[in-house]
Structures are given as C-alpha cells and as structure tokens.
Amino acid sequence: MKHHPNLICLKVNKGQLSADDAKAIGKILADFKFIRELDISNTSLDVNTSKEIADGLMRAKQLEIFKCNNNLSMGKTLDTIIYNLAFSPKIKLISLSQVGQVSRDTAEALYKLLKISGAIETLIMRQTNVSSHLNDDFFKALGENKTLVYLNLDENTFVGQSQLNSLGKALAMNAYKNGWLEGLSMRNWIASYANADSFVHQMNISDQDHEYWYGDRKVAEAM
C-alpha cells in the first residue's frame, strides 16, 4: 500500500480482519492524506481490531464516508468510533447498521456527533436498537443540527412513545431552525394509529416550545 500514497477509497468486505490487518488500516487512515472513504462492513470486527480502526479514525482528517455494517462484536469500541468521527472535519456519511448490542453510551456518542460535527449529512443506524436509549440531549441536538440531510433509525422492535414524541418535536425544531433534514426512515417506530396521531401532534410546536428546549425555562413559563 505504500506505493499508492494517493489512495482515495479502501473497501474490505466479507472477510475477517486480523489484528495486523486492523493495524494496517489504522495506519493508512493516519498516514494517507487523500483517503476519503473506508468501508469495512462484514469483516468480523471485535473489540481489539475495531480499537485499531478507531485510533486511525482520530487522525483521518480527510475522511468523508465511513461504513462499518454487520459487525456484531465491536462492543464499546463503537462508541469511541462515533465520538472520534465527530471531530472529522469532512465526514459526510456514517453507516453503522447491525452492529450488535448498543447502550446508552452509544446514544451519548451520537448526541455528541450531532452536536460537534459541522459536516455530517447522512447517518444510518439501522437495526441497532439504539433508539430505546436516545434521550432529550440527542433529540435537541437533532433539532438544531444544520447539516444532516438523511437519518435512518429503522428498528427490529417497536420504539416507545416517549422517543417517538421527542422525534416528532425534533423534526419540527429542525425545520424551525432552518436545518436541512429532508429524509427520515423510522421503521417500527409507529405501532398504531394512536402512536401516529401523537407523533404528528408533537410536530405542532410553538415559540414557547422552542424556549423550553433551547432557551430559559422561566421565560418559557411566562410566555
């Protein structure tokens, strides 16, 4: 690979990355200044190998596209990967579908991504069950994010009403604050007419709602 310093895209799919493989990819991310896309889906990443990738991502300042789907044993390293990508100044697309068990730490990392990143346009977290861990911080960050265009939060099981209501409000806030969000996939978020009715109702926001989320609570209460 040293003979190809102008490498732009690296895809390693449907194999098993060894520790040495992962170290090599991490070094490519750190040293190759033109690398813009990395796809390591279906590569049986575990905690140790994905840590090598995460370390490389921290220094991959030109990266625009990162795909790491169908790796079920990444563990908590997934949270570090998302957090490191938040500081990638050019990252536009992140796809982390079917990556095994996620936690509140994953949801926290996603919140920081939306809060910090000034470039992210596409975020795909399909079939991760992360939606059950999303809290107000995430939805508020989604509401004020200025770059996100497409969000995929498809799930295998139905999501709770609280998250559904917060998502509806976040969508409205994103429009209220002139965000770019125009595409959303949310399979298994709506289980009934009552769910859908409440979701739509939450999109009917007011200036007071905005003040409660992003301003002063005392001011909001007086409105």
Tokens (6 digits) for 106: 């994953």
Residues above pLDDT 90, as percent of the chain? 96
Edge to edge, the sheet with strand 93-95 lists 9-11, 37-39, 65-67, 93-95, 122-124, 150-152, 183-185
Give pLDDT tens digits for 22-78: 999 999 999 999 999 999 999 999 999 999 999 999 999 999 999 999 999 998 999
CA gyration radius, the chain = 19
- pLDDT tens-place string over residues 159-209: 999 999 999 999 999 999 999 999 999 999 999 999 999 999 999 999 999
- pLDDT level of residue 2 (50, 70, 90 thresholds): confident
**pLDDT > 70: what percent of the chain?**
100
Among candidate residues 135, 134, 130, the one with its CA nearest the CA of residue 100: 130
Predicted TM-score (pTM) of the model is 0.96
Where are the domains positioned within the chain?
9-222
Q: Write down the H helix ranges in the chain.
A: 19-31, 47-57, 77-86, 104-116, 136-144, 161-176, 193-202, 207-214, 217-222
Does residue 139 register a pLDDT over 90?
A: yes
**Assigned CATH topology for domain 9-222:** 3.80.10
